[in-house]
Chain A
Amino acid sequence: DIQMTQSPSLLSASVGDRVTLSCKASQNIYKYLNWYQQKLGEAPKLLIYYTNSLQTGIPSRFSGSGSGTDFTLTISSLQPEDVATYYCYQYNSGPTFGAGTKLELK
């Protein structure tokens, strides 16, 4: 199975900060990597698919990059409504999620 490791597990940042979340795969997943946002009590929402494609309706402050085993989600200017847990997800084979990064306001 492909293991997905997210870091950090908890991130505190201020409104307006540039925030970077990391996701590492245990083997090459090419670009088959998505990012999801889950707010408390809600279903996950797709933000980024195929590493760097922005899902319809998602603000442009969200962006993704990477390939192979190392991937990044960047929020260019953190907003209060971005407080959530973020999950990466690989769908190259035997789909797996990372454990998540909880993003909170400092």
Chain B
Amino acid sequence: EVQLVESGGGLVQPGRSLKLSCAASGFTFSDYAMAWVRQAPKKGLEWVATIIYDGSSTYYRDSVKGRFTISRDNAKSTLYLQMDSLRSEDTATYYCARGRILDYWGQGVMVTVSS
């Protein structure tokens, strides 16, 4: 059974950093691209970033370029999202999802950026 479990969320002040993790199990992690998708409170879904299977290429939405870094550790079957220079508009539930087609999702982790 495919499982994705996010962790690392919380309350953080504007301008500070936070690192999210997504632990994967039930499939060969190193075979798949992985992505982060977020959802602001009572809003729609927004793709954030994607990393290909071996970590050699990454892609970001414009609003997070230069502030967020997606990475992975295939030996640990874990996906990461380093979020720097956080803004209030980054407040959202962050989901990790598998593959280019986002076929499996984690349960999400809440990130609140507020002073």
Tell me if B106 and A43 are in contact (CB < 8 A): yes
- Contact bitstring B101-115, A, C-beta under 8 A = 1, else 0: 111111110000000
Q: Quick check: is B95 within 8 A (CB to CB) of the other chain?
A: yes
The size class of the interface chain B forms with chain A is: 10 to 19
Tell me if B44 and A99 are in contact (CB < 8 A): yes
| B95, B101, B104 — most chain A CB neighbours (10 Å) | B101
The size class of the interface chain A forms with chain B is: 20 to 34
Residues of A within 8 A of B103 (CB): 46, 49, 55
Tell me if A96 and B47 are in contact (CB < 8 A): yes
- Contact bitstring B36-52, A, C-beta under 8 A = 1, else 0: 01000000111100100
- Of A34, A87, A94, A98, which one neighbours B101 at CB under 8 angstroms? A34
